[in-house]
Structure 1
Amino acid sequence: MTITATTAITVTASGTGTTTGAIRTVLGDVLPGELGVCDAHDHLFLRSPLMPGHELDDPGAALAELDAFAAAGGQAVVQWTPRGMGRHLHALPDLSRRSGVRLVAATGMHQAKHYGQADLTPGVDELAELFVHELTSAPVRAGMIKVAGAYHHLDDHARHVMAAAAGAHHATGAPIGVHLEAGTAALDVLDLLCGTHGVAPDRVLLGHVHRFPDPAIHQQVAEAGAFLVFDGPSRPHHGTDWRLLASLRALVDAGHAHQILLGGDTVTSGARSTADGPGMPFLLTGLRPRIERELGADVAAAILTRNPARAFAVDWRDSPR
């Protein structure tokens, strides 16, 4: 199908399965239909030795950004900040209550370079147990697992963490979000998580796919059944935003509108809407109107509301709180 600016595509549940289970937010589990308009990959808090002076660690600034997102019509944000990177889990419930925005937190680990040596010592089984604890019994529970690949390959650390993430997934059902370095190694990730470790492809969310805007790779990932996360309009040095609509159009034309997610991926204070960047609201004030105009309102609703509800919904394998 060729999409024009006036063509509206109807995206139904046909072929995508029924949305069941619950989404685990920092205030408790909610039904998929209650999640609402969602920024599917972002950060309220973040700290790394690789980014000195750019920490996201101010609860007041985080609340201001959530308020701006809510004012634009946003209802949910998924924070992909994993263990050991300044998640401020204790602050998230209060921020959710005060802003009215549902928040989903992450467990997991990023690339080794973001950590000290002491953080890299747990074995696969021990690491999986840590992830399971944070997903099922921690005071503030995570609703997803974050892992990361390397540039055009998977290094030993990535394979180690992904093995633990797969174990935690099989124990809980939690989805696995993947940082693709510069958008690369997507097929390697699927081969490892799905081929080697038996994770269902629709439980894998591949982040930063827009940073490597190869339509053939996007098509292969979509045909495998994974979610494709287009994120980072707050990252000007990547320079691929101008290809976003073409990438989305190609996937929609091929029947994969139900596998697309959008996120802001705000990683510095200057990228927030309350500073000098587009921030979280831009997904709704900048990108949504373009998607509605070029691909249709129903596609926009699928990408921003229905798809996140499916991507993060889990039949949790523990006692719900």
Structure 2
Amino acid sequence: MSRVRTVLGDVAPGELGVCDAHDHLFLSSPKFRGQELEDAAAARAELMAFRAAGGAAVVQWTPYGMGRRAADLPVLSRATGVTLVCATGLHQAVHYAPELLDALHGRLAEVFVSELTDGIGTTGVRAGLIKVAGGFHAVDAHARWTMTAAAEAHHATGAPIAVHLELGTGALDVLDLLCGELGVPGDRVILGHLNRSPDPVTQREAAGAGCWLAFDGPSRAQHATDWRMPQSVRDLAEAGFGDRLLLGGDTVLAGARSVDGGPGMPYLLRRVRPRLVAELGAELVDRILSEHPGRAFGAEWG
């Protein structure tokens, strides 16, 4: 039976409720110095704001070595009533010190499996997905290493694999590797940031492979992608791929939180949802927010 692995234990997919399928409560990286998500009080306030807007669950894609603060997540989940899912995995090399990456060579899949099954460090929190990342219009050597380990961990556990597509590019190369060469079923792969490169041909081909398409934003750079997104989602639905869609907020920097003056997690429900309802109708949008995340992130855990 499929279950979603949350920070408070496994739950049935239908128990998630309205879900932000890609976001971050905590995140730190050498690339984002001075804008790290490190404030637990701000994370709690953001979750409360999301809850007040009608949200019930958040999937945090922050992977290994990027300040996940896994020990804080059960506390936040209980305090706010918002279900949380935590990630293992590894982002692009730019987000890590070289010595950390060197220490993981030869044991990356082992780390992923351990965090999915035994828990993250001594926290007792088990990860519920594997987050990896592609390169710009390519699968570079680092991405091939991390995706190979992710596929091995998937085959050992059943865990879904969520992929950061750099500026929304490289989706088909990622699928050639994960689903073709490495044998991961399409419906176990979630492609993030497809809205950042609104290519309808690529989006339809990716959906045709059976994977999940995550439209997560709003964009921090190319704002044309924001007004194109509803049309892209409608086109996919009209092409028969309405059952492959996910929505997320992807709050990466501290200034993007709603409690710090940015759009934050509530934006997904306050602004994105009504715009999509106008394009798709309430029934499909409700399924994208409430039904699809449970299917995408559920697994028959091995």
TM > 0.5: yes
After TM superposition, the structure 1 = structure 2 runs for residues 71-110 of structure 1, keeping only pairs within 5 Å, are: 71-110=52-91
Report how far residue 293 of structure 1 moved.
2.1
* The one of 208, 212, 237 aligned to 1:252: 237
Name the residue aligned to 2:101. 120
Distance in 1, Cα, partners of 2:105 & 2:229: 37
Distance in 1, Cα, partners of 2:100 & 2:178: 22
Distance in 1, Cα, partners of 2:30 & 2:296: 31
After TM superposition, the structure 1 = structure 2 runs for residues 24-39 of structure 1, keeping only pairs within 5 Å, are: 24-39=5-20
Aligned-residue sequence identity (percent) comes to: 61
Name the residue aligned to 1:313. 298
Q: 1:42 to 1:32 in 2, by over 3 A?
A: same
Name the residue aligned to 1:17. none
| Residues 1:215 and 2:196 aligned together | no
Structure 2 counterpart SS, 1:254 = helix
* The one of 130, 152, 159 aligned to 1:145: 130
Structure 2 counterpart SS, 1:293 = helix
Name the residue aligned to 1:185. 170
Paired letter, 2:14: G
| Residues 1:136 and 2:117 aligned together | yes
| Residues 1:238 and 2:222 aligned together | yes
Report how far residue 238 of structure 1 moved.
2.6
Paired letter, 2:238: D
Report how far residue 125 of structure 1 moved.
5.1
Name the residue aligned to 1:303. 288
Distance in 2, Cα, partners of 1:140 & 1:167: 21
Report how far residue 196 of structure 1 moved.
0.6
Structure 1 counterpart SS, 2:260 = coil
Distance in 1, Cα, partners of 2:297 & 2:205: 22
Distance in 2, Cα, partners of 1:295 & 1:150: 32
Gaps of 5+ in 2: none
Report how far residue 124 of structure 1 moved.
6.2
Report how far residue 122 of structure 1 moved.
4.8
| Residues 1:270 and 2:251 aligned together | no
* Deviation by residue 1:176-200 (Cα, 9 ceiling, x = unmatched): 0000001010000000001011000
Distance in 1, Cα, partners of 2:269 & 2:31: 30
Name the residue aligned to 1:175. 160
Paired letter, 1:88: R
Distance in 2, Cα, partners of 1:141 & 1:125: 22
RMSD: 1.0
Runs of 4+ in 1 over 3 A off after TM superposition: 122-125
Task: Indicate the structure with greater helix content.
Answer: 2
- TM-score between both structures, scaled by the size of structure 2: 0.97
Structure 2 counterpart SS, 1:236 = coil
CA contact (8 A) 2:231 2:279 kept: no
Distance in 2, Cα, partners of 1:238 & 1:77: 25
Report how far residue 88 of structure 1 moved.
0.4
Name the residue aligned to 1:23. 4
* The one of 256, 261, 278 aligned to 1:293: 278
Report how far residue 269 of structure 1 moved.
1.3
- TM-score between both structures, scaled by the size of structure 1: 0.91
